[in-house]
Amino acid sequence: MRAAVIGAGSWGTTVATLASRNVPTILWARRPEVAKEIVEHRANRRYLPDHVLPEALEATSDLEEAARDADLLVVAVPSHGFRQTLEAVAPHVRPWVPVVSLSKGLEQGSMLRMTQIVDQVLPGHPAGVLTGPNLAQEIIGGHAAASVIGMQDLVVAEALQDVFSGGLFRVYTNHDVVGCELGGALKNVIAIATGMAQALSVGDNTRAMVITRGLAELTHLGVAMGGEPATFAGLAGLGDLLATCMSPQSRNRHVGEQLGMGRKIDAIIADMNMVAEGVKTAAVVMELAKRHGVEMPVSEEIYAVLYQGRDAGDAYRGLQGRKAGHERDSG
Which residues are paired to 149 by β-bridges? Answer: 130, 173
- Report the alpha-carbon distance of residue 302 to residue 8 in Å, rounded: 30
- Closest alpha carbon to 140 in 76, 54, 66, 82: 54
- Going by C-alpha positions, the residue among 171, 132, 129, 127 that lies closest to residue 153 is 127
The DSSP element (H or E) to which 60 belongs, if any, is: strand 58-60
Beta carbons of 1 and 31 less than 8 angstroms apart: no
Exactly one of 104, 187, 264, 323 is catalytic; name it. 187
Helix, strand or coil for residue 178?
A: helix
Give, in order, the Cα–Cα distances in Å from 98 to each of 4, 91, 157, 192, 241.
11, 15, 9, 33, 27
Closest CA relative to residue 74, chosen from 118, 39, 124? 118
Say how far apart CA 88 and CA 66 lie, in whole Å: 12
How many Å apart are CA 258 and CA 268, to the nearest integer?
7
SS3 59: strand
Helix runs in the chain, H state only: 10-20, 32-41, 63-67, 82-89, 114-121, 136-140, 154-164, 177-200, 204-224, 229-232, 240-246, 251-260, 265-271, 277-292, 297-307, 312-320
Q: Which value, in Å, is the radius of gyration of the alpha carbons in the chain?
A: 19
The Cα–Cα gap between 128 and 116 comes to 10
- Spatial distance between the Cα atoms of 320 and 168, rounded to a whole number of angstroms: 41
104 part of the active site: no
- In one-letter notation, the amino acid at residue 20 is S
Write out the catalytic residue numbers. Answer: 187
